[in-house]
Amino acid sequence: SYVLTQPPSVAVAPGQTARITCGGHNIGIDGVHWYQLKPGQAPVLVVYDDTDRPSGIPERFSGFNSGSTATLTISRVEAGDEADYHCQVWDTNNDHVVFGGGTKLTVL
């Protein structure tokens, strides 16, 4: 079955760039989507279809997907970006949804 692998944690200082990876076999041919989860809040879609941002999401959030790795990049990190980030693909072969295990972003 499809498996997406994320690092458990990433830590960056404010103002720096955070890069969160999502690895999967040939993930580059799938559309990858990213969600931000904060305690007590509904999850928020921050990037969809590899690179697109929903309205209201700052340009500081960007995505890239190629080969076996998709990457969510958060530029000029702010304290408010501290959250768990999860990647997701729709496994069209099996019509199933797959999530990565999530990455906790800590702003130092």
CB 56 → other proteins: shortest distance, Å? 12
Determine, following the binding rule CB under 8 A, whether residue 38 of this chain makes contact with other proteins. no
Residue with smaller CB distance to other proteins, 14 or 56: 56
CB 62 → other proteins: shortest distance, Å? 16
Determine, following the binding rule CB under 8 A, whether residue 90 of this chain makes contact with other proteins. yes
Interface stretch with other proteins, choices 15-23, 34-42, 58-66, 75-83 (CB under 8 A): 34-42
Specify whether the CB–CB gap between 105 and 58 falls below 8 A: no
Specify whether the CB–CB gap between 105 and 19 falls below 8 A: no
The continuous run of DSSP H or E covering 11 comes out as strand 9-12
DSSP states along 23-48? E-TTGGGS--EEEEE-TTS--EEEEB
Enumerate binding residues for other proteins (CB under 8 A): 1, 31, 33, 35, 37, 41-45, 48-49, 54, 86, 88-90, 92, 95-102
